[in-house]
Structure 1
Amino acid sequence: MNIQIEIEKKLTEHFQPAHLEVINESHQHNVAPGSETHFKVVLVTPKFSGERLINRHRAVNAVLKEELANKIHALALHTYTDSEWQGLYGGAPDSPACLGGMKRRVS
């Protein structure tokens, strides 16, 4: 199993997120091609309600302690409650309006 999938699995099991993104940013660093050493995590969960930012990060680090000790060099964390996420981004963006695709008549 690759490291990105391990991270996704552990965070999903522990936090039951409303939104989770685990992005491998290793290619932006001086590492071998295909490396999994630098990650960005966007985690939205009601479990962060009432928690200070430092406590949210500590909770994520605790869940990923094995990966941080042995596999991950850098981990950027963006942790939000549901209401913070809604306030910042309003949820998932709407899909664009359909223009008819293949059914559209061409004059």
Structure 2
Amino acid sequence: MFSARIAENFTSPTHGGELADPHIVLENKDPVCGDQIRISIAVDDGSITQARFRAWGCATSLATANILCVWMEGKQLTDCVAATPEELAEQLGTLTPEQRHCHEIAVNLVAQLQPESVA
């Protein structure tokens, strides 16, 4: 069973693909199920201007990737870094116990952001 938010982002993703020359690339893979998300990010003056994803795995993983990209675009890197796991869970909406691994993937992806590494 999928929430409306997960179903919408899986069936009609808006941020699929890869950026040709990203400033940041985030990757995370769930060691148990093998779901994997890769997000490429363009940054201008500390703000995320574009975020695109490639994802392999369950429908919830693909939806999670799209939701993260939509959430990141237009935000300052520092604001994304400051996001709590609870804030990310709110973005994903209600997940079943079988889908909770996608929240962990999202938290691990955001934890990789390091604003000081972007020139």
TM-score range normalised by the length of the shorter chain:
0.3 to 0.5
Q: TM-score scaled to structure 2, two decimals?
A: 0.34
Q: TM-score scaled to structure 1, two decimals?
A: 0.36
